[in-house]
Amino acid sequence: MKRLLSAIWTVLSSRALPPLVCGVFLLIYIGIAFGTDDTLIALMEFTRKSVILKVLLALIPLNSLCLMLKETDRHLKRRRVKNGEENDAPAGLFDESITVPVSPEFDELLGRLEAEGYTCRRTGGVLAAWRGSSIFPARVLFLAAVFCLFAGILVSLTSRSSHRMNVIEGEPIPTAKGEGGLVERIRLEPSSGAILDKKLILEVAPSTAGDGRKVFELYPPSLYRGYFVYPRYLGFASIIRFSAPGMQSASEIQGTLNIYPPGKEDRLEIPGTPYQIVFSMAKPDDGSDPYMTGRFTLLFKVLKGKDVLFRGNVPAGGEFVNEGFRLAIPDFRRMVITDFIQDYGVLLVWTATLLLIGAGCIWLPVRVFCPRREMVFTYEHDTVNACSRAEGRIRIHAGVFHESLDLLEARRSATQ
């Protein structure tokens, strides 16, 4: 049982595991690519449905956790060895370990190492020398980032649910259980930011179910009853009255038109008739944004089957009449086509991004300007155990370490 657990631990904490898992997913991706053009979407779908693939993907965050534990343990062990609290340095803890039968001429060695720029500390029979900073904090941040990233992807793949709804000015915000607060106002404003061109603001009044007043903007998206509010497209909700020669009475349709930006077309079918109306928004001559100003003219073409009967334009709130056809738009309200997304993986991926940036900001300067180099000499039973390790500038450090050993050897020869 112990051997089995040890083998499992070895596999889970191996640095070879993530590339292996990624390799398997790459092979599956290649396999899928033979069958479909939408390979990435198909792979995501496969992973969502397959328990094996989910477990395989889960190995990466698990591996990050195990590595974090393993590397923290090694780091602490190294500290204990350096402080003289532990004499046994397990294999692999240092880059080089050697036992030499010499007397501890540590005073001269200490002076030599200090002259080389090392900070030295002598505690009993232990001499520790080090310089630079360890990348251990950056490494822990990196592993935490990998954990968050892949855990986020896994959570996202397995539990994401999304509903596309229309959020309309003057109507309650759509929710799964109803009783959403009233959407008081939808505003589109110019933005001065470097990334977003426009600001979209949805103001929602407190609901009878107990939700407070909410204001939703574009990014980062806010939560409403556990769902991210993710605005996708803009349009208008309208009431359209249409009558044509031969129709007994005018049809009144409440429809939504996804016609933003100006020029984008949307189609509305008149139920019970062969007529369809294709709407778009005219681009104002003054260059203003009709969604922002609320002043706009609708361009339309009326089709019977596939034939275009006529084209025209009508201002919001206005009416168009032509050869017995009548089209009126008495009511027009702003609308945002919105995805309500329940996906907590997103939070983990955002965290991963921050952690990765943090790790990079620590790792680069430390690795370039002051990498950790350390050596420990422990005198015990007429021998010195010497260990050395470097995270950068390895050869120069190794040279200093070897010369230190030479010095100890030379002093022994001199005393004999």
**Interface with other proteins includes 355 (CB under 8 A)?**
no
User: Using CA atoms, how far apart are residues 240 and 226, in angstroms rounded to an integer?
Assistant: 35
Closest distance of CB 33 from other proteins, Å? 6
Q: Residue 327 or 336: which CB sits closer to other proteins? A: 336
93 in Cβ contact with 80 (< 8 Å): no
214-216 and 119-123 strand pairing: unpaired
**Interface with other proteins includes 101 (CB under 8 A)?**
no
Q: Residue 79 or 198: which CB sits closer to other proteins? A: 198
> Interface with other proteins by CB under 8 A: which range of 52-60, 95-103, 168-176, 274-282?
95-103
**Interface with other proteins includes 368 (CB under 8 A)?**
no
User: Using CA atoms, how far apart are residues 349 and 165, in angstroms rounded to an integer?
Assistant: 25
Q: Is the dihedral of CA 109, 112, 118, 121 positive or negative?
A: positive
411 in Cβ contact with 403 (< 8 Å): no
**Interface with other proteins includes 232 (CB under 8 A)?**
yes
> Interface with other proteins by CB under 8 A: which range of 59-67, 214-222, 246-254, 307-315?
214-222
CB neighbourhood size of 105 (10 A) = 18
**Interface with other proteins includes 44 (CB under 8 A)?**
yes
CB neighbourhood size of 196 (10 A) = 13
161-168 and 325-342 strand pairing: antiparallel
* Near other proteins in 274-333, by CB under 8 A: none
Closest distance of CB 297 from other proteins, Å? 20
**Interface with other proteins includes 96 (CB under 8 A)?**
yes
**Interface with other proteins includes 215 (CB under 8 A)?**
no
User: Using CA atoms, how far apart are residues 350 and 352, in angstroms rounded to an integer?
Assistant: 5
Q: Which of 115, 197, 246, 382 binds other proteins (CB under 8 A)?
A: 197
**Interface with other proteins includes 346 (CB under 8 A)?**
yes
Residues that bind other proteins (CB under 8 A): 14-16, 19, 23, 27, 30, 33, 37-41, 44, 92, 95-98, 156, 194-198, 200, 218-221, 228, 230-234, 260-261, 341, 343, 345-346, 349-350, 386, 388, 395, 401-403, 405-406, 409
